[in-house]
């Protein structure tokens, strides 16, 4: 076993060696520009890109002409939201999203608000899921876009995408989803799910960083987005810029591997994740955050009450995990996702996200369980709050000095 | 963000973790911070008849720097007179532990905890609490 054990696969995943192997020729002999139509170097690069486009499309049940390569999910989110807002502004200016989206969606929505958009930020239920009645009530004739993520990056909950897209379409709006965490982990099908635009990235599915895609529906309806990057008119005019050929080839290979291995891998991961969760919730006052039925197979977000997340991660130095604690963020605010579930700040501060992946082993999970149990117990011995809890003191009855 | 060796040392081997009898008139208790802010420190001192701190204990809910700051504080307090303890400045802690700017609040909290413990001791023994300049959070 190598240390530290990597359990932060929602932040990024290691590159699969098979992906690296597929990419290597495109750094060497096949270095051509995919847009060079007049010689063999260009053709070789174009062939690599074309094949990758098919691999990516197949994973989400799309046609390869519907795949626009970008630099990653953040760019895809920007292109989708800003692009739809610009393209459809004659139809309306209203966009609906949720408060638990990734910042790439939230901040893009804030940006278009400055340009005249009206954005509704839906809250979520205690389990992290969108209230469909609330969504329905928020729809207006002016609504051009509903943008709701597929699987959440912090708690892993999977939104009822089919129901959401049906509501959007009923009211004549497009449906976009940031599927960064879901694609490659669970079956995603743009037609069955009613998705018009979908953002995804390679590095969350064992591909390279710096490459992603936006799916843009071509039929029923034909969706158009205004380009946000002007230049040579690449990617059907929606995203100019010389294609990142090695990255795209790697992305394609990563999608193919996920497609082939998803079913067995999801079963393996959820069995390990469930075991981890079961063992860790044996600890007193530990709580799983978010819906546990509608959840990605590889994530568990657990709060260990009366222990602070950053301090806990420092104790668990054998494990690479992440926390919703304020101390780990630049803003000194605890996770807005956890707070939007109605979690009190102290529980948000006490949360740890375990993100399993393709290279996680049972042996590593055994070790993670032991280290976490030991660290939580150790830090509780140091915690005045734990002592007070054990003495039966109601912590809410104390007048804490805000600072 | 990398921690300094001293923070790691205090975090890994915290000094003086524990609880003193808070009902004793010799013991002063300071409880500062708030759970929703992510750090709470409880610092206790035991004082002898000559106004010298003979024992100090802490428990802290917080990040590594908060735990290290309070552990260091208890180490410094033992053997000090109340007057000398009152003079401990948060910047002394920052310097000793090489805390980065985002962790200065941990040292402020430790200074607050020291002063709160001393004032609790004073009030218990019929003395007026010492006015402290409102700390800079």
* B20 within some domain: yes
Residue in A349, A383, A395 closest to B38 by CB: A349
**Does B31 sit within 8 Å of A382, measured CB to CB?**
no
Whether B134 has a pLDDT exceeding 70, the answer reads no
**Does A382 sit within 8 Å of B67, measured CB to CB?**
yes
pLDDT digits (tens, 9 = 90+) for A210-255: 999 999 999 999 999 999 999 999 999 999 999 999 999 999 999 9
Predicted local distance difference test score (pLDDT) of residue A328: 56
Which CATH number fits the domain that encloses residue A373? 3.90.1150.10
pLDDT digits (tens, 9 = 90+) for A2-36: 999 999 999 999 999 999 999 999 999 999 999 99
What residue numbers bound the domain in which B96 lies? 5-123
Length, in residues, of chain B: 137
* Binding-site positions of A for pyridoxal 5'-phosphate: 73-74, 153, 181, 201-203, 242
pLDDT digits (tens, 9 = 90+) for B74-107: 999 999 999 999 999 999 999 999 999 989 999 9
- Reference A241, options A394, A68, A113; nearest CA is A68
State the DSSP string of A204-258: GTTS-TT-EEEEE--SSS------SS-SS-TGGGTS-S---HHHHHHHHHHHHHH
Predicted local distance difference test score (pLDDT) of residue A370: 97
Q: Which residue, A224, A257, A290, sits at the end of a domain?
A: A257
* A122 within some domain: yes
Q: Copy the structure tokens of residue A113.
A: 């608000």
Q: Which residues pair with A94 in a beta bridge?
A: A118, A143
Whether A98 has a pLDDT exceeding 90, the answer reads yes
Residue in A315, A326, A403 closest to B137 by CB: A403
Which CATH number fits the domain that encloses residue A155? 3.40.640.10
**Does A308 sit within 8 Å of B38, measured CB to CB?**
yes
Residue in A387, A402, A403 closest to B19 by CB: A387
Predicted local distance difference test score (pLDDT) of residue A331: 62
**Does A403 sit within 8 Å of B35, measured CB to CB?**
no
Taking CB atoms and an 8 Å cut-off, how many pairs form between chains A and B? 87
* B129 within some domain: no
Instruction: With beta carbons less than 8 A apart as the criterion, state whether A387 and A45 touch.
Output: no
What residues of chain A lie within 8 A of the CB of B38, using their CB?
308-310, 325-327, 334, 345-346, 349
Residue B36, SS3? helix
What residue numbers bound the domain in which A314 lies? 5-10+262-393
Domain count, chain B: 1
Nearest residue of A to residue B41 by CA position? A384
Whether A403 has a pLDDT exceeding 80, the answer reads no
Same domain for A313 and A379?
yes
Same domain for A99 and A188?
yes
Q: Is B61 on the interface with A (CB under 8 A)?
A: yes
DSSP run (H or E) holding A108: helix A103-114
End-to-end CA distance of chain B: 22
pLDDT digits (tens, 9 = 90+) for A138-181: 999 999 999 999 999 999 999 999 999 999 999 999 999 999 99
**Does A314 sit within 8 Å of B36, measured CB to CB?**
no
Q: Which residue, A233, A257, A281, sits at the end of a domain?
A: A257
Which CATH number fits the domain that encloses residue B44? 3.90.1010.10
* B116 within some domain: yes
Instruction: With beta carbons less than 8 A apart as the criterion, state whether A175 and A165 touch.
Output: yes
Q: Exposure of A295 by Cβ count < 10 A (0-12 exposed, 13-18 middle, 19+ buried)?
A: buried
- Say which of B5, B21, B22, B37 is annotated catalytic: B37
Q: Copy the structure tokens of residue A320.
A: 């690479």
pLDDT digits (tens, 9 = 90+) for A27-72: 999 999 999 999 999 999 999 999 999 999 999 999 999 999 999 9
Would residue A220 be called left, alpha or beta, if left means φ above 0 and alpha means ψ between -120 and 50 degrees?
A: left
* B91 within some domain: yes
* Distance from the A330 Cα atom to the nearest Cα atom in chain B, whole angstroms: 9
- Reference A357, options A265, A290, A263, A254; nearest CA is A265
* A403 within some domain: no
* B101 within some domain: yes
Residue in A309, A311, A346 closest to B35 by CB: A346
**Does B64 sit within 8 Å of A403, measured CB to CB?**
no
* B69 within some domain: yes
Domain count, chain A: 2
Q: Is B100 on the interface with A (CB under 8 A)?
A: no
Taking the C-alpha atoms of residue A82 and residue A85, their distance in angstroms, rounded to an integer, is: 5
Q: Is B67 on the interface with A (CB under 8 A)?
A: yes
Quick check: is B106 catalytic? yes
Angle between helix axes B64-77 and B90-97 (nearest 10 degrees) is 110
Give the confidence band of A346 by pLDDT, cuts at 50, 70, 90: confident
Residue A5, SS3? strand
Nearest residue of B to residue A339 by CA position? B36
**What ipTM goes with this model?**
0.92
CB within 8 A of A304, min separation 6: which ones? Answer: A280, A283, A285, A286, A312, A350, A351, A352, A376
* B95 within some domain: yes
Same domain for A275 and A355?
yes
* A402 within some domain: no
């Amino acid at each position: 076993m190598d240390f530290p054990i990597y359990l932060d696969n929602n932040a990024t995943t290691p590159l699969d060696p098979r992906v690296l192997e597929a990419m290597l020729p495109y750094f060497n002999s096949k270095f051509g520009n995919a847009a060079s139509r007049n010689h063999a170097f260009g053709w070789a690069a174009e062939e690599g890109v074309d094949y990758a486009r098919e691999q990516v499309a197949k994973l989400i049940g799309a046609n390869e002409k519907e795949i626009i390569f970008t630099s990653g999910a953040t760019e895809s989110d920007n292109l989708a939201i800003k692009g739809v807002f610009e393209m459809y502004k004659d139809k309306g200016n209203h966009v609906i999203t949720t408060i638990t989206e990734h910042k790439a969606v939230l901040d893009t929505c804030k940006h278009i608000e400055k340009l005249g958009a009206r954005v509704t930020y839906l809250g979520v239920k205690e389990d992290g899921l969108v209230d469909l009645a609330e969504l329905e009530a928020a729809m207006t004739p002016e609504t051009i876009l509903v943008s709701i993520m597929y699987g959440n990056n912090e708690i892993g909950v999977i939104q009822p995408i089919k129901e959401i897209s049906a509501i959007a379409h009923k009211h004549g709006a497009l449906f976009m989803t940031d599927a960064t965490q879901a694609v490659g982990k669970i079956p995603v099908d743009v037609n069955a799910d009613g998705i018009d635009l979908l953002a995804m990235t390679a590095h969350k599915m064992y591909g390279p960083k710096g490459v992603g895609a936006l799916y843009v529906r071509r039929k029923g309806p034909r969706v158009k987005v205004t380009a946000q990057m002007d230049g040579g008119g690449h990617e059907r005019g929606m995203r100019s810029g010389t294609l990142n050929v090695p990255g795209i080839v790697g992305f394609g290979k990563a999608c193919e591997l996920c497609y082939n291995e998803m079913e067995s891998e999801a079963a393996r991961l959820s069995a390990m994740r469930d075991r981890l969760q079961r063992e860790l919730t044996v600890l007193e006052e530990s709580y799983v955050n978010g819906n546990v039925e509608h959840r990605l197979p590889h994530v568990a977000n657990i709060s260990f009450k009366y222990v602070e997340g950053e301090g806990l991660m420092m104790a668990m130095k054998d494990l690479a995990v992440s926390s919703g604690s304020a101390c780990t963020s630049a803003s000194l605010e605890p996770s807005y996702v956890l707070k939007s579930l109605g979690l009190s700040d102290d529980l948000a501060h006490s949360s740890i996200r375990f993100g399993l992946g393709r290279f996680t082993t049972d042996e590593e999970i055994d070790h993670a369980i032991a280290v976490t149990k030991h660290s939580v117990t150790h830090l509780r011995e140091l915690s005045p709050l734990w002592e007070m809890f054990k003495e039966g003191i109601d912590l809410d009855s104390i007048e804490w000095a805000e600072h | 963000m990398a921690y300094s060796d001293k923070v790691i040392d205090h975090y890994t081997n915290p000094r003086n973790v524990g609880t003193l009898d808070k009902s004793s008139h010799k013991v002063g208790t300071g409880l500062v911070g708030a759970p929703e802010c992510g750090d709470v420190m409880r610092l206790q001192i035991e004082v002898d008849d000559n106004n010298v701190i003979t024992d100090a204990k802490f428990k802290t809910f917080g990040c590594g720097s908060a735990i290290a700051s309070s552990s260091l504080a208890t180490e410094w307090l033992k053997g000090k007179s109340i007057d000398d303890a009152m003079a401990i400045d948060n910047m002394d802690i920052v310097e000793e532990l090489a805390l980065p700017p985002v962790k200065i609040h941990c040292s402020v909290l430790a200074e607050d905890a020291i002063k709160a413990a001393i004032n609790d001791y004073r009030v218990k023994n019929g003395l007026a609490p010492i006015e402290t300049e409102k700390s800079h959070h």
